Amino acid sequence: MVAALSLQLAGCGQNYPVYILELPEAPEAWVQLLGEPNWRIEWIAPNGQKQSKDILPRETVEAALPSTWANPVTASPWWRRHNLAPGLLKPAGALFPYDVSGSKLRLTWEGGVDAVFYWELALANQDGSRSPVNLDWPRFRELFETGVLNEDVCKDPWLVDWRSVAERTVSSGFDRRRLVAQPRESMSIPVSSGPWYGTSPFADPLHFAEGETPVFRVTAGVDVWISGEGILRCNQKTWVFTLW
């Protein structure tokens, strides 16, 4: 995808507008637990190459964006002091030009889902037959506003396995019926009562009674939960708890 865009844009010789990236506030629960995050910003530059920049809390960043095609921008929060690397917690994001307001590109937590789905489509689109540029993004966003999707998915779109949806979309076209929560199983894990916070900014914290063995709903992949004591990584077969 990125290579194809590079060829498409090579030699264009035109100037592209520069936008101030307006980041959202980090979820209050994350800030109270971990402090203000650093951010890793990723976008596609006018030459078609993926760019990234790490910024400090409250720092601003600008990006030149090509105006000829839809462009995803992600902002991944991370915390050096807690060894929480970029990509572990879900990102905020935006899609150019849909989230432009004047000289600013407004990133939101909802937009992070769109941007990640864009990247996944680009990754799966090896033969160039179904470019994410051509997806009807306004209509895609409307799906989460019109009540046609499962209530849980509308509340937290990160319940969906976006890589799987992207691969199937590239293979046979987009189908909203694929936007369902990943299968989960209950797993008892002898850790503290919490509260435990997920990697999604939309997920409700988990609270367990003192003396009760916490039960987590886990997928076949790697699920991450954080608390004041440390970080829990688990799947349907095993778990690892690491103290801060």
User: Both 174 and 55 in a single domain?
Assistant: yes
| CA–CA separation, 221 and 15 (whole Å) | 43
Nearest by Cα to 201 from 22, 23, 29, 86: 29
Beta strand segments in 56-153, E: 61-64, 71-78, 92-96, 100-101, 104-106
pLDDT value at position 126? Answer: 86
User: Both 194 and 174 in a single domain?
Assistant: no
pLDDT value at position 4? Answer: 35
Q: Which domain holds residue 94?
A: 2-178
Q: At what angle do helices 162-172 and 109-124 cross, to 10 degrees?
A: 50
| CA–CA separation, 106 and 19 (whole Å) | 10
pLDDT value at position 14? Answer: 62
The answer to whether the CB of 89 falls within 8 A of the CB of 39 is: no
| CA–CA separation, 119 and 72 (whole Å) | 8
User: Both 77 and 156 in a single domain?
Assistant: yes
Q: For strand 197-198 and strand 71-78, is the pairing parallel, antiparallel, or unpaired?
A: unpaired
| CA–CA separation, 236 and 139 (whole Å) | 35
2-11, 19-28, 107-116, 218-227: the lowest-pLDDT one: 2-11
Beta strand segments in the chain, E: 18-22, 38-44, 50-55, 61-64, 71-78, 92-96, 100-101, 104-106, 185-188, 197-198, 215-218, 223-226, 230-234, 239-243
Q: How far is CA 95 from CA 32, 35, 158, 210, in A?
A: 29, 27, 17, 44
User: Both 51 and 123 in a single domain?
Assistant: yes
Structure tokens at 91: 């990102």
Which residues lie below 8 Å from residue 126, measured CB to CB, with a gap of 6+? none
Per the prediction, the chain carries an average pLDDT of 91
Looking at residue 43, which CATH number applies to its domain?
Answer: 2.60.40.1120
User: Both 163 and 208 in a single domain?
Assistant: no
Which residues lie below 8 Å from residue 81, measured CB to CB, with a gap of 6+? 34, 35
Q: What number of other Cβ atoms are within 10 A of residue 187's Cβ?
A: 17
Report pTM.
0.90
pLDDT value at position 241? Answer: 97
Confidence of residue 140 (pLDDT cuts 50, 70, 90): very high
User: Both 108 and 77 in a single domain?
Assistant: yes
| CA–CA separation, 122 and 15 (whole Å) | 25
Give the residue-averaged pLDDT of 235-241. 95
User: Both 32 and 101 in a single domain?
Assistant: yes
The model's pLDDT over 42-75, given as tens digits with 9 standing for 90+, comes to 999 988 889 999 999 999 999 999 888 889 999 9
| CA–CA separation, 137 and 25 (whole Å) | 24
User: Both 146 and 111 in a single domain?
Assistant: yes
